[in-house]
Amino acid sequence: MTSTLPAPASPDWWRDAVFYQVYIRSFADGGDDGVGDLAGLRARLPELARLGVDALWINPFFPSPMADHGYDVADPRDVEPVFGDLAEFDRVLAEAHALGIRVTIDLVPNHTSDQRDWFTAALAAGPGSPERARYVFRDGQGPDGAQPPNNWPSIFGGPAWTRVPDGQWYLHLFAPEQPDLDFTHPEVLADLEETLRFWLDRGVDGFRIDVAHGMAKAPGLPDVAFDAETGLFDDHGPDDPRLDQDGVHDIHRMVRRVMDAYPGTMTVGEVWVSSEERLARYLRADELHSAFNFRLLTADWTPEDLRAAVADSLDAVAATPAPACWVLSNHDRPRHVTRYGGGELGTRRARAAALLQLALPGMAFVYNGDELGMPDVDLPDEALTDPVWTRSGHTERGRDACRIPVPWSGSEPPYGFTTGATTWLPMPEGWAGLTAQAQAGDPGSVLSLYREALRLRRGVSGGLTWLPAPEGCLAFRRDSGLVVLLNLSGAPVPLPEGRVLLASADVADDLPHDAAVWLQA
Ligand code: NOJ
């Protein structure tokens, strides 16, 4: 079954869309195994429509041994049984489309699972075989080849090379279960095109492209000048031979040629690079439609940092055809409630941050649970499942804390997430007030704030002009007349002129500290 939307009002629907990130394992379980799935997502689509999102990004749901929770893909053109099957995916697509929600999915081109047929064939075929040429196999260094081919570290910790029994080594920028493909091999590129067309023909509206700055490696695989202090996913600069190499742009041009044959579809790249200039190179007219700008995800809660994040991100795209693309949280980083201090303080700031994010020109990504004000959860060692925890020799706890299942209803774990008794990551006590059900009827809740912001946002358009603001505050105006004031000054500040549309905290004549307000000028 395929699914099509009525001709979109604009093929550029995505330029100011609000995308909702569905971390499929943690969004909603349609059964009782404690793992989220496509049936659970389908059942909750009406609630996402009520929230007012325009599109979904669904994290990988393809067959996978789950060494990296789905980012180790064993078959890019099928559905992992834990999450459902292709027929269930088609139903999700059709029902989302019927609700006016577009559906984008993850594309994981840089690597496969070590259980993909290609990789098992490569291991069996031996050194020098055509099967090995699809991956990055090399002989080791030293008299008996016992040293890895170069000094590259894996982004998850430890070396980026693993030795196989016949003595060769293969490259994996992430876990050993995620061997990197060699994109100079024509079959690898052709396979990516087949995957794109497979899902586009089914009716998906676009792709979030994983490690979109990966794929091409520096010719000759020279050593990297590695800074051991640099953390997970942080960019290692343009001299890093593992990432952001010129050859990657040819791959994006191929992807774009395919996408252009499906009008109204789009791509958003996960591009971690060292500067706004490097980011802009991915956004040329024949490459990605858009790329996450992670500056809001990494900015400190200070007026200087936030203003620079916004201004630099807008500058980055100004000379490209792409809109800006704003992210406060995702499945790889501590949630912003926690980043901003946690507890009441974190929630208060997160509410203000939401009004900042959703007022900015361009695309916005809401990570499942942002709309509830979900915090990270400290998990005991034995509950941790992220490969980062083991790969780092138990020095980095990894990303489980930001991937806790979403609380839907009730007063005890599993809060309506599953009909079973347990969840794949444990849910804490004390979340009765955080559930979607508890928040839905409360006009003061984070959920109500998001719903109202998404509703009002539909009337907001045009560019951003900075306005004069009291010390410690940011103020700007959108062309359509929305005025936004964010107060981080440490004290209440007077409200600007205009009719208050929405505020993250109670306002009278003043806007309190750590709060934001939307006004109609
Ligand atoms: C980025 C994804 O967001 C992350 O979750 C994953 O572990 C790596 N890419 C590897 O695919």
* Atom number in ligand 1 closest to CA 174: 10
Q: Which region, left, alpha or beta, applies to residue 193 given φ > 0 means left and ψ of -120 to 50 means alpha? A: alpha
Res 391 pLDDT > 90 = no
Is this prediction's pTM over 0.95?
yes
Beta carbon of 72 within 6 Å of any ligand 1 atom? no
| pLDDT, position 300 | 97
Best of 210, 213, 215 to mutate for ligand 1, by most ligand atoms within 8 A of CB? 210
Rg (CA), the chain: 23
Beta carbon of 71 within 6 Å of any ligand 1 atom? yes
Place of tokens 């600069």: 237
Q: Token digits for 180?
A: 């990197």
Query: What integer is the mean pLDDT of 280-286?
Result: 98
Query: What is the per-residue pLDDT across 161-190, written as a single tens digit (0 to 9) for each?
Result: 999 999 999 999 999 999 999 999 999 999
Nearest-CA residue for atom 10 of ligand 1: 71
With residue 464 as reference, give the H or E element that holds it: strand 464-466
Res 4 pLDDT > 60 = no
pLDDT band at 228 (very low <50, low <70, confident <90, very high): low
Residues 6+ apart with CB under 8 A from 376: 334, 335, 337, 338, 342, 401, 402, 404
Beta carbon of 23 within 6 Å of any ligand 1 atom? no
| pLDDT, position 274 | 85
57, 106 Cβ separation under 8 angstroms: yes
Domain architecture of the chain: domains with CATH: 13-109+199-214+264-457 (3.20.20.80), 117-171 (3.90.400.10), 464-520 (2.60.40.1180)
Q: Which has more confidence, 238 or 236?
A: 238
pLDDT band at 157 (very low <50, low <70, confident <90, very high): confident
Nearest-CA residue for atom 3 of ligand 1: 332
Query: What integer is the mean pLDDT of 388-397?
Result: 92
Place of tokens 């690597």: 111
**CA–CA gap between residue 23 and residue 60 (Å, rounded):** 8
| pLDDT, position 336 | 98
**CA–CA gap between residue 513 and residue 500 (Å, rounded):** 17
Residues 6+ apart with CB under 8 A from 389: 396, 397, 398, 400
**CA–CA gap between residue 511 and residue 495 (Å, rounded):** 6
Nearest-CA residue for atom 6 of ligand 1: 71
| pLDDT, position 10 | 85
Beta carbon of 210 within 6 Å of any ligand 1 atom? yes
| pLDDT, position 160 | 95
pLDDT band at 3 (very low <50, low <70, confident <90, very high): low
Query: What integer is the mean pLDDT of 471-490?
Result: 98
Query: What integer is the mean pLDDT of 254-283?
Result: 96
Active site residues: 210, 277
**CA–CA gap between residue 393 and residue 395 (Å, rounded):** 6
**CA–CA gap between residue 98 and residue 84 (Å, rounded):** 20
3 state DSSP class of 16 = helix
* Atom number in ligand 1 closest to CA 111: 11
Beta carbon of 211 within 6 Å of any ligand 1 atom? yes
> How many angstroms from the chain centroid is the CA of residue 69?
14
Dihedral of the alpha carbons of 430, 432, 434, 435, in degrees to the nearest 10: 140
Ligand 1 center–CA 208 separation, angstroms = 11
DSSP per-residue letters across 383-415: G---HHHHHTTSSS--SGGG-PPPP-SSSSTTT
pLDDT band at 412 (very low <50, low <70, confident <90, very high): very high
Res 2 pLDDT > 60 = no
Dihedral of the alpha carbons of 119, 124, 126, 129, in degrees to the nearest 10: -60
Nearest-CA residue for atom 2 of ligand 1: 210
Query: What integer is the mean pLDDT of 68-96?
Result: 98
Best of 174, 297, 391 to mutate for ligand 1, by most ligand atoms within 8 A of CB? 174
DSSP per-residue letters across 120-174: HHHHHH-TT-TTGGGB-EE--BSTTS-B-SS-PBPTTSSBSEEE-TTS-EEE-SS
Best of 21, 57, 66, 71 to mutate for ligand 1, by most ligand atoms within 8 A of CB? 71
| pLDDT, position 193 | 98
CA distances from 517 to 206, 375, 471, 487, 493 (A): 33, 23, 16, 9, 11
With residue 312 as reference, give the H or E element that holds it: helix 303-318
**CA–CA gap between residue 83 and residue 89 (Å, rounded):** 9
Nearest-CA residue for atom 8 of ligand 1: 71
* Atom number in ligand 1 closest to CA 330: 3
Q: Token digits for 376?
A: 């990270």
Overall size of the chain counted in residues? 521
Res 1 pLDDT > 50 = no
Q: Which has more confidence, 516 or 239?
A: 516
Beta carbon of 68 within 6 Å of any ligand 1 atom? yes
Ligand 1 center–CA 67 separation, angstroms = 11
Beta carbon of 292 within 6 Å of any ligand 1 atom? no
Query: What is the per-residue pLDDT across 44-77, written as a single tens digit (0 to 9) for each?
Result: 999 999 999 999 999 999 999 999 999 999 999 9
DSSP per-residue letters across 195-227: HHHHHHHHT--EEEETTTT-S---TT-PPP---
Res 9 pLDDT > 90 = no
**CA–CA gap between residue 217 and residue 337 (Å, rounded):** 36
Res 108 pLDDT > 60 = yes
Classify residue 321 by burial, with Cβ atoms within 10 Å: 0-12, 13-18, 19+.
middle
Of the chain, the percentage scoring pLDDT greater than 70 comes to 96
Classify residue 394 by burial, with Cβ atoms within 10 Å: 0-12, 13-18, 19+.
exposed
Ligand 1 center–CA 210 separation, angstroms = 6
Classify residue 170 by burial, with Cβ atoms within 10 Å: 0-12, 13-18, 19+.
buried
| pLDDT, position 239 | 78
